Structure 1
């Protein structure tokens, strides 16, 4: 649970930094690119300071990966899995960002936020049916409460009828859920020693994809403050994935993902109140209370 709490804090911190970015009207493409670049640099430092033996043959790398993916991979296979899964995850991060921005413009921030968070259903369901990670009855109660808090804090009854079933929301949900699922796939099959390589590839890929979008929107301006905001976002971004993978080693995915999502919402609300003096509505306070209760229940 300690690693999960750290992942929640890091995840919430990213949102708070991006909140500052929007308040200051920063170039979101610049902020996103610097964010991924910073995460890539940090993961590179962590990776190259570790002692890992890289393969001498790409053919051997692929055969080791393909031949061992039915269970825990060998060191050579783990490197292959780190590269393949890292590229896929980086692409998913990038595409999710594009779809999220489009979804906000079409459906509003509330519904877009809820459906992106509901993507946690994907790693939950797959973990239950593929790896038989079935939580206990008491943990199911905590999971249900955490889902309820996500819905309560994001749903606006006034616009749900006209926006809830637009295809882009379903696409957003699937993209975010699949990106999260990649962390679970890596944790399940690859050796934990290669986590830093996996994250390095994830953020390298996301940086490259984001750079293409930044170049396309270079007319929106590049400034030092935007770079600084991106730097501040990149640090917790890298460690959110770092600690999330660690938490998946000791807790069921069906427990980790709802807590990760709902806990992040509570952290953001609490820090927004402290830092930005934002008043919390009764709905938000109720959702926060549900999340806290769910976390207590899950730890029983």
Structure 2
């Protein structure tokens, strides 16, 4: 349970840092890629055994972690496009409602059963995430951009269930830091390649502020994944319960942080979503 709480806290801190990016005019893409390399270094510091780079390719989780690294960058890019075309709220809803994917995956991959109470809890969680994340501002949505939130939903959910599958099937406790580090390293390398491709249209600009922002993001980013894996492994809860509590608690906690520290205003719909989030967490934790 402690690992799950720590995962929620570090994940919530990531959203706060993203909010600060907006305030301090940080170039998000460069900070994100820096953050991946920093998260990789943090993980290596926690890995006590000697590291032989040539042996990494022989690890049973190597190709899976490589796939996750690509997926990290790809989903981030789609999330950025979704935010630009449909708004941050739509992106947030799509990302957090992706908890459905690992829940369904747990049923088929691990024969998990859902009680009536937990089923109600998941349905309340979906309603809570939607209500707590949506804003009142209205904008015209182009039909050809409606695929974007679906891709965010599918991509985020695939990342969650892939991490669960790989860590349970191929990663022992001692190698969790190495496994996490390699995912971030792969994401960082593919991110650099992505930037190099973009330099033809958008010249590469590096400044200390973006690098510092990436460092601040990379540390909690590593621990959010590290403690999520620990929670999935050590918790008495099912996968469905862990992912639901994790996602809904992050929405709840970041919403409250927005009110207290950033003077964000909430509608009645948002407050209803917060109430449903609390009910959902209680039901899932029973």
- 2:184 aligns with one of 180, 200, 203: 203
- Supply the distance in 2 between the matched residues of 1:247 and 1:94 (Cα, whole angstroms): 24
Match of 2:69 among 90, 112, 124: 90
Other-structure match for 1:268: 254
State the Cα distance separating 1:158 from its structure 2 match.
Answer: 7.2
Counterpart check, 1:183 vs 2:167: no
Q: 1:245 matched to which residue of 2?
A: 229
Distance 1:298 1:187, change over 3 A: same
Matched, 1:25 2:25: yes
Q: Is the 8 A contact 2:248 2:281 kept in 1?
A: no
Note if 1:137 corresponds to 2:116: yes
Q: After TM superposition, give the deviation of residue 160 of structure 1 in Å.
A: 9.2
Is 2:148 the counterpart of 1:168?
yes
Contact 1:29 1:213 in 2 (8 A): no
Q: Which moved more, 1:83-92 or 1:190-199?
A: 190-199
Matches within 5 A, 1:70-85: 79-81=59-61, 83-85=62-64
Change (3 A) 1:31 1:56: closer
Deviation track 1:2-58 (CA, whole Å, cap 9, x = no partner) reads 2212111111111110111022221112110111111011011112x2468998696
Cα distance, 1:94 vs. partner? 0.3
Any conservation in 1 of the 2:241–2:285 contact (CA below 8 Å)?
Answer: no
**TM-score with structure 1 setting the length:** 0.84
Matched length: 279
For structure 1, the 5+ residue unaligned runs are 62-78
Give 1:230's match in structure 2, choosing from 203, 206, 214: 214
TM-score normalized by structure 2?
Answer: 0.88
User: What secondary structure is seen at the aligned counterpart in 2 of 1:80?
Assistant: coil
Change (3 A) 1:162 1:54: closer
Residue 254, structure 1, aligned to residue 240, structure 2: yes
Alpha-carbon distance in structure 2 between the residues aligned to 1:210 and 1:25: 20
The two structures, once aligned, show a CA RMSD in angstroms of 2.6
Task: Report the alpha carbon displacement of residue 143 of structure 1 after superposing the two structures with TM.
Answer: 2.0
1:139-154 → structure 2 map (5 Å cutoff): 139-154=118-133
Paired residue for 1:277?
A: 263
Distance 2:16 2:252 in 1: 12
Alpha-carbon distance between aligned partners in 2 of 1:144 and 1:230, rounded to the nearest angstrom: 35
Unaligned segments of structure 2, at least 5 residues: none
Distance (Å, rounded) in 2 between the aligned partners of 1:153 and 1:271: 13
Q: Report the equivalent of 2:276.
A: 290
CA contact (8 A) 1:134 1:254 kept: no
* In structure 2, C-alpha distance between the alignment counterparts of 1:223 and 1:54, rounded to whole Å: 30
Does the Cα contact within 8 Å between 1:27 and 1:222 map onto a contact in 2? Answer: no
- Alignment partners' CA distance in 2, 1:286 and 1:56: 52
- Give the Å deviation of 1:87: 0.8
